[in-house]
Structure 1
Amino acid sequence: MIEKLVKIIVQRLELRAETKTSITVSKMPQDPVAVFMESGTVRLTQVNKHFLERILGGNRAESLTSWFEKAADYGVVIELELYDNGEPWLDYAMLSQLVYPVFTSTGEQIFHSSGQVICYGDSAIIPSGSTLCKYKKQLITPLANEYLTKNNIAVRERQ
């Protein structure tokens, strides 16, 4: 009997790990436990600059803080999806401060390196098909540039 119960629990956990749920930030449930019980990954969609500032700000609303703490307690991966591609409003410095992966509305993951020089080590962690955001003053080493080109990683440049 116990073996059957353990088998059912393991199957349920495996299914949960594979399940991904999308929730619009304007419709985030106050008590997300039901969502966290069913999904291993929750993607918050329609994210704007104000929402990113709330996440990064030390004075974020109590409900938002508890929401993210519950996600961590349940081992849920949180992803953020912008309402557009993030141009021109997305502050690249914000990207380096966020602990959650950020995606455009078309599904491209966005990365940013805060160093003056983007080296191979910075580019090697970026998955193929993603986007690297950089400032004009940031330099890319030849080896990093080769990796970015080879792995179809787009580079966005801003002043």
Structure 2
Amino acid sequence: MIEKLVEIIVKRLKLRAANKTVIAVSKMPRDPVAIFMENGTVRLTQVNKHFLERILGGNRAESLTIWLETAAEYGVTIELELYDNGEPWLDYKMLSQLVYPVFTSAGERLFHPSSEVICYSDSALIPSGSTLCKFKKQLITPLANEYLTKNNIAVRERQ
């Protein structure tokens, strides 16, 4: 009897881990437990600068913080999708402060290393097909540049 119950629970957890849902920021439910019970990944779309600032503000009494903490309690992976490609409003420093992966509306994952010199170890953490966002003052070592080119990682540069 117990083996059967464990088998059902494991099957349910595997199914949940594979499920992914998309929710617009403007339509986030107040009580997300039903969504978290069914999905292992939740992508929040139409994210703007104000929303990112709210996440980074971390006001513990705010409903968004409670929502994100509940997701963590349920082991749900949160992804953020910008309403556009993030230019020019996206503050690259925010990318390095966020604990959630950030994507453009076209599906590119954005990264911003905070170091002044981007070396191979920084670039090796970026998955193929993603985008590295950097400031002009940040330098890229030759080895890191080779890795970025080889792995089809685009580079955005801004003042």
Measured against the shorter chain, the TM-score band is: over 0.9
Offset at residue 62 of structure 1 (A): 1.8
Tell me, which stretches of 5 or more residues in structure 2 are unaligned?
A: none
CA distance in 2 between partners of 1:8 and 1:58 (Å):
37
1:118 alignment partner in structure 2: 118
Please report the RMSD computed on the Cα atoms of aligned residues, expressed in angstroms: 0.9
Q: CA–CA distance in 2 between the matches of 1:60 and 1:88?
A: 29
**Kept after mapping to 1: 8 A contact 2:58/2:65:** no
SS in 2 for 1:21: strand
Q: Deviations over 1:43-79 (max 9, x none)?
A: 0000000000000014376211110110010000000
Which residue in the other structure is 1:76 paired with? 76
Give distance in 1, aligned partners of 2:148 and 2:81. 22
Identity of aligned residues (%): 84
Displacement of 1:6 in angstroms is 1.1
Q: Which amino acid in the other structure matches residue 84 of structure 1? A: D
Gaps of at least 5 residues in structure 1 are none
Which residue in 1 is equivalent to 2:32?
32
Residues of 1 paired with 2:24 and 2:67: CA distance? Answer: 14
Aligned partner of 2:55: which letter?
A: I
Could you tell me which residue of structure 1 aligns to residue 139 of structure 2?
A: 139
Deviations 1:13-41 (A, max 9, x none): 00000100110000000000000000000
Looking at structure 2, the residues matched to 71 and 83 of structure 1 have their Cα atoms a distance apart, in angstroms, of 22
Q: For 1:9, what is the secondary structure of its paired residue?
A: helix
| Corresponding residue for residue 95 of structure 2 | 95
CA deviation vs aligned residue, 1:74-96 (integer Å, no higher than 9, x gap): 00000000000000100001001
Cα separation, 2, equivalents of 1:53 and 1:47: 11
The verdict on how the C-alpha distance between 1:132 and 1:23 changes in structure 2, with shifts beyond 3 A counting, is: same
TM-aligned CA deviation for residue 145 of structure 1 = 0.0
Where 2:30 maps in the other structure, the secondary structure is coil
- Give the secondary-structure state (helix, strand or coil) at the position aligned to 1:37: helix
CA distance in structure 1 between the partners assigned to 2:115 and 2:126 by the alignment: 15
> Whole-Å Cα distance in 1 between the matches of residues 18 and 25 of structure 2?
22
Aligned residue runs from structure 1 range 35-54, under 5 A: 35-54=35-54
Distance 2:31 2:109 in 1: 28
Corresponding residue of 1:10:
10
The question of whether the paired residues in 2 share the 8 Å contact of 1:102 and 1:109 is answered with yes
How many corresponding residue pairs? 159
